[in-house]
Amino acid sequence: ALAREPPQSIVFTELRTSPLLEGELIVSGTLEYAAPGKLSRIVMQPYEERTDIDGDEVRITRADRPERRFSLRRVPELRGLLTSFSAILGGNHAALEQEFELSLATTEAGWQLTLIPRSKRARTSIDSIRMRGADDAPACIAIGGRGGESTALLLGAAAGPNAAAQRTKQCGVLP
């Protein structure tokens, strides 16, 4: 039910916590799904940055910095995210199960899909990925990291003064 025909785009607000940050980092922009294996994350606030993933290649461009390029093989957490997004958007259940242990919980209010990386290397960075939503519309992707790091992507939500309240409503308690 979550499969989508490319191209697709959706606005997002991302809230990131880390012991390395003094406070919570909040960015917003657009996610674009151009084709299987081709995703873009375009940040508009509080700075402008574009990350393009095409197969195994990642390119990050930001006006005030030199362009960076690297392979997803070096970054297992990004590889896992790309695999999960591409498999979900492409309706490829087999690919999702190959990379993750899956569990689905449903209630009258909605659903939660939990993905636990199968790869030991990926688990060094990611504890879990939780997608929550209702019907065929995901509302939140919560990524639990190691050492107190977490990221919540609020889908369809522009950044606002109540981003933390939106996270609680759309994501529940972060992993």
Q: Distance between CA 166 and CA 126 in Å, rounded? A: 23
Residue 137 has pLDDT above 90, yes or no: no
Local confidence band at 171 (pLDDT 50, 70, 90 cut-offs): confident
Residue 77 pairs in a beta bridge with none
Q: Distance between CA 172 and CA 98 in Å, rounded? A: 27
Residue position matching structure tokens 């190691």? 146
Distance of alpha carbon 164 from the chain centroid: 17
Q: Mean of the pLDDT values across residues 149-165?
A: 79
Q: Distance between CA 25 and CA 16 in Å, rounded? A: 5
Lowest mean pLDDT among 9-18, 66-75, 84-93: 84-93
pLDDT digits 0-9 by tens, 33-54: 888 788 899 999 999 999 998 8
Q: Distance between CA 127 and CA 100 in Å, rounded? A: 11
Considering 41-55, 68-82, 119-133, the range whose residues carry the highest mean pLDDT is 41-55
Local confidence band at 65 (pLDDT 50, 70, 90 cut-offs): very high
The percent of residues above 70 in pLDDT, for the chain, comes to 89
Residue 80 has pLDDT above 70, yes or no: no
Question: Global pTM?
Answer: 0.83
Q: Distance between CA 155 and CA 138 in Å, rounded? A: 7
57-69 CB burial, b ≥16 within 10 A, e <16? ebebeeeeeeeee
Residue 94 has a pLDDT of 85
